[in-house]
Amino acid sequence: MRTQLLHLFAIEFRKRKKKTALITVAITWGTLSILLLMSFGRGLSNAFRISFKGLGDNLIMIYRGQTSKDYQGLPKGRRIMIYPGDIALLSALIPEIELISPESNDFFTITGGGRETNRNVCGVGPSFQVMRSMIAESGGRFINEEDEHSARRVVFIGWNTAKNLFNNENPVGKTIIINRVPFTVIGVMKKKLQSSSYEGFDADHVYIPYSTFSRIYTQLYLDRIHIQPKRREDNQLVERRIRQILGRKYRFDPEDDYAIGLWNTVEQAEIAGKVFKGIEIFLALIGGLTLFIGAVGVTNLMYALVKERTREIGIKMALGAKRRNIVLQFLLETLFIFSRGTFYGTAIAYIIVRLTRLVPISYEITGIQSYLLRPIFSLDILIVFLVVLGTLVFLSGIFPALRASRLNPVEALRYE
């Protein structure tokens, strides 16, 4: 019986090649649209998430500020500075802190490889590497504890700075001059995506031990303190404790948001994550609507076929065909149309995604292709798509099939 149904289905389908071809194209386009939109949406969301971590993951930065409230007899408008001693104080009183590093910076003239440039030179601690996602290229390293303890004249440089000074040569082990002081290059930063920054992007900066910076450039205060809590969920607690401890030390109201600057990248990343997830869902909905239009076309085609084949259905039922045989035949035709369109659309979408990922990405800040040219064709996207598709297949085929199976054989045989 199943073989006969398949044979009848093949015969009927060949009779309507032109009609089904247009619907197949619609399903192919809908499949291609939803998979590409979901893949590019996932890729965009993932790329922005990575670029946000380019500044640092789970990071709190403390800046100098100015009071906006009177406090304990002191007037508002006082400048609040942060100093190296605050590092030990915060580390001792806030056990939730995992890593902490000072940072002071200034712009200096740098000479190396026969070239000269003006760059932001930052004095930082060894833990700065982990907090700020600074990975050295092969053959180099970041500043370590011994460099900091001995105030060595070593330097870690961004890849743009390395390219500007040394072109395509390996700068590791070579000497550069920073404000007339010689430094040995110990590493070059590996390229990374970065969407957030302060005073320029990491690719253009130069990093030396903080102890070296403070001795050579005699800056008593810090520009920033970088803190990484042990757990992401502790970020707000750490932020409150920072305001309380420094408020007691420098005598300002802990509720005064302007007394010290705090940049909590955890909160920023969570907000951005919600935005990107919304974009991903929005693109998927657009693709889903496109596929739904194709499903409506299939439903209309099947209803038209029921009307066109009323007499044929009556003959089949008069010869003993049961309702389930009629339902199965129409569902099988619907499934075949969807399957063929889905296969073509999925294959084309997969090829486009794979070819797009072969395009070299740019790590330049203005290189939007770094975000758009990394679509992700993942298993969960395919599963979600197949669930949606299965629902549309059932809804598109079941109602026309039920209508066909409920025809009265006698009335169907009289239909012209």
- Per-residue pLDDT reduced to its tens digit, 72-92: 888 999 999 999 999 999 999
Q: Which residues of 169-208 are buried (b: 16+ CB within 10 A; e: fewer)?
A: eebbeeebebeeeebebbbbbebbbbbbeeeebbbbbbbb
Token pair 């401890």 in the structure block, residue? 245
143-199 pLDDT tens trace: 999 999 999 999 999 999 999 999 888 999 999 999 889 999 999 999 887 777 787
Residue 75 tokens, joined: 């007037």
Q: Of 210, 216, 206, which is closest to residue 110 (Cα–Cα)?
A: 206
Tell me the C-alpha distance between 233 and 62, whole Å: 18
Instruction: Report yes or no: 41 and 279 within 8 Å, Cβ to Cβ.
Output: yes
Angle at 369 between CA 366 and CA 373, to 5 degrees: 160
Q: Of 362, 385, 380, 387, which is closest to residue 372 (Cα–Cα)?
A: 362
Tell me the C-alpha distance between 9 and 329, whole Å: 7
Q: What is the pLDDT along the chain (416 residues), one digit of tens a residue?
A: 456 555 555 555 555 666 677 777 777 877 787 788 888 878 877 777 777 777 777 889 999 999 999 988 889 999 999 999 999 999 999 999 999 999 999 989 999 888 888 999 999 999 999 998 888 998 899 999 999 999 999 999 999 999 999 988 899 999 999 988 999 999 999 988 777 778 788 889 999 999 999 888 877 889 999 999 988 888 889 999 999 999 999 999 999 989 999 988 877 777 777 777 777 777 777 767 766 776 676 666 666 665 655 556 555 665 566 666 666 666 677 777 778 888 888 889 889 888 888 877 655 544 556 666 678 877 777 777 777 777 776 766 666 656 655 655 545 444 44
* Dihedral, CA of residue 402, residue 408, residue 412 and residue 415, to nearest 10: -110
Which are the contacts of 198, defined by CB distance < 8 A and separation ≥ 6?
61, 263
Angle at 56 between CA 53 and CA 57, to 5 degrees: 70
Residue 2 tokens, joined: 């199943």
Q: How far is CA 57 from CA 76, 229, 377, in A?
A: 34, 10, 26
**Biggest alpha carbon–alpha carbon distance for the chain:** 103
Dihedral-angle region of residue 167 (phi above 0 means left; psi in -120 to 50 means alpha; beta otherwise): left
Which are the contacts of 158, defined by CB distance < 8 A and separation ≥ 6?
188, 189, 201, 202, 203, 204, 205, 206
Q: DSSP 3-state assignment of 58?
A: coil
Alpha-helix residue ranges (DSSP H) falling in 224-322:
235-250, 265-308, 310-318
Q: What does residue 96 show for φ and ψ, rounded to 5 degrees? A: -75, -5
Tell me the C-alpha distance between 110 and 288, whole Å: 55
Q: How far is C-alpha 351 from the geometric centre of its chain's CA atoms?
A: 22
386-390 contacts: CB < 8 A, separation 24 or more? 388/34, 388/288, 388/291, 389/31, 389/291, 389/338, 389/342
Q: How far is CA 389 from CA 300, 395, 403, in A?
A: 17, 10, 22
| DSSP label of 189 | B
Q: What length does the chain have? A: 416
Q: Is the pTM of this model over 0.75?
A: no
